[in-house]
Amino acid sequence: MFEWARDRALRWAHPGGSRGPLNVDEHRPSGTGEGVYLPSYWAGYAHRSGFYSRDFAHQFAGAHLLGLAEANLTMLRRFAASATPEHGYHPVWAFNFDGSYLAIDYRGPDDFVREIPVVFELVERAELGYRWTGDRAYVDDPVLRDFYRHATGEFVTRHSAGGLVARGTGGGIFQGVASYNELSGEPLAEAGDGIAAQYRAYLAMAALSRAGGASGAAFERRAAELKRHFNETWSGRGTGSGMVRAYTVDGRAMTGWGRENSWFMPLKGIIDDGPRNDDYLDFVDAQASGPGRPENVEALTYLPDTFFRHGRDDTAWKWMREIFAVRDRPHVAGGLNGDYPEVPFTLVGQTVEGLLGVRPDAPDAVTTRSRLPEGVDWLEVSGIPLGDGHLAVRHDRHASTLTNLSSHVTYRWTARLPGGRTRVQHVPPGRAVTAG
């Protein structure tokens, strides 16, 4: 699985300076000419010549692990720079690989695809990029700083009607939707994936603020306030299928299965820990396994992340295997499921961040926690880029090993072990240390 995902994902990468077609889509298979590509990678339909913000956000970790850190930063800056007052502080949804707007999704400053959750996911990914790379551009670049500030400030003010939660229009994707679930037909103003992503963006902004030398306390308070509002008011009192997962423009509370606006709530950790969260995870797994299963495989790629977050390692692994098993089946938009770039990129990320439980804190700190499911007795990945060096992580059933592959970085390794034990060790260059 990993070898297929690694090799397949790298086929979608573009080195900076390469040339290729622009504005290719199902209506213009030859595009509208050629351009010089930025360091970038395919994130979206394989029959369109561009990268999409939602796909990019979910492929980000896998791309970093595959050596595409320059592309991650370059692509993030394009989205950030496009989130202007003219665009209502929404980032443009899709770009050609040369950095121009992808024509099929952009008709003008008041007529382009925009979806609430991705504004906040991009802030969250910026903080992740900083934790993986230690690159000060994520903190100091003025284009990125302005985007973070607007996304967690003016954007919310402009699109919340004076409330706490950023809202969509209830119209179609070219008018601005509240949820990633574009197919429900529900006129949503607020959605579970939007409020959950907003919560994570505040936490990310707190961390980025601290990295920049400021206090993150104000953003931590906003995150806590939003989470309290969600659990005490917004989500109602129901559990499982009875939990509120969206509101329509006329104020109706929506319960039941909402796909993205359902599973994003546990994915982002906005539901308080406890029986209610446990019941909702059961509900998500049952619905996605049954008649509510999404037809598009890229929607399923969020499920391993959702269950890994909550320690349901066997369920997360089940979904990784299901996604891999359907790679050679037809995709609903044409081609094969495995031709959708999100599939291989996320499997790479889920192997390292999920199964290996690697949490970076660049430039020189890392935490690991084995999430080996039943039937997997050991797992090792070598060449993981962290800060200015690389490392290998191996988990066996009763021990974990970190090998420092760099020649100049000493890593501070926090190993979380079975039984709630924790060991903190320094691993010098060229050394391997085992904790168990």
- What pLDDT does residue 330 have? 97
Sequence-distant (6+) residues with CB within 8 A of 272 are: 227, 231
Distances (CA, A) of 31 to 75, 107, 422: 21, 16, 55
Whole-angstrom Cα distance, residue 203 to residue 200? Answer: 5
Beta bridge partners, 412, equal 365, 426
What tokens does 61 get? 């970790």
Whole-angstrom Cα distance, residue 319 to residue 304? Answer: 6
The pLDDT averaged over each successive group of 10 residues in the chain (436 residues) is: 98 97 97 97 96 98 98 98 98 98 97 98 98 98 98 97 94 97 93 98 98 97 98 98 98 98 98 98 98 94 98 98 98 95 98 98 97 96 98 96 97 94 97 97
Question: Cα 399 to the chain's mean position, in Å?
Answer: 29
- What pLDDT does residue 208 have? 98
CA angle centred on 293, ends 165 and 317, rounded to 5°: 90
Q: What letters, b where the CB count within 10 A reaches 16 and e where it falls short, cover 303-332?
A: bbbbbbebebbebbbbbbebbbeebeeebe
What tokens does 398 get? 């009763």
CB atoms within 10 A of CB 102: 24
Distances (CA, A) of 103 to 20, 22, 48, 107: 16, 9, 10, 7
- What pLDDT does residue 161 have? 85
- What pLDDT does residue 159 have? 97
β-bridge pairing 19-21 and 50-52: unpaired
- What pLDDT does residue 162 have? 87
Query: SS3 of 191, please?
Result: strand
Whole-angstrom Cα distance, residue 163 to residue 246? Answer: 15
- What pLDDT does residue 341 have? 97
Whole-angstrom Cα distance, residue 426 to residue 364? Answer: 10
Whole-angstrom Cα distance, residue 387 to residue 373? Answer: 29
Its pTM stands at 0.98
Ordered domains of the chain (ranges, CATH): 2-11+108-359 (1.50.10.10), 366-435 (2.60.420.10)
- What pLDDT does residue 292 have? 92
- What pLDDT does residue 56 have? 98
Asked if 342 contacts 294 with a C-beta cutoff of 8 angstroms, the reply is: no
Phi, psi of 413 (to 5 degrees): -105, 125
By C-alpha distance, which of 302, 313, 229, 366 is closest to 59? 302
β-bridge pairing 400-404 and 359-361: unpaired
User: What would the pLDDT profile of 368-393 be if each residue is shown by its tens digit?
Assistant: 999 999 999 999 999 999 999 999 99
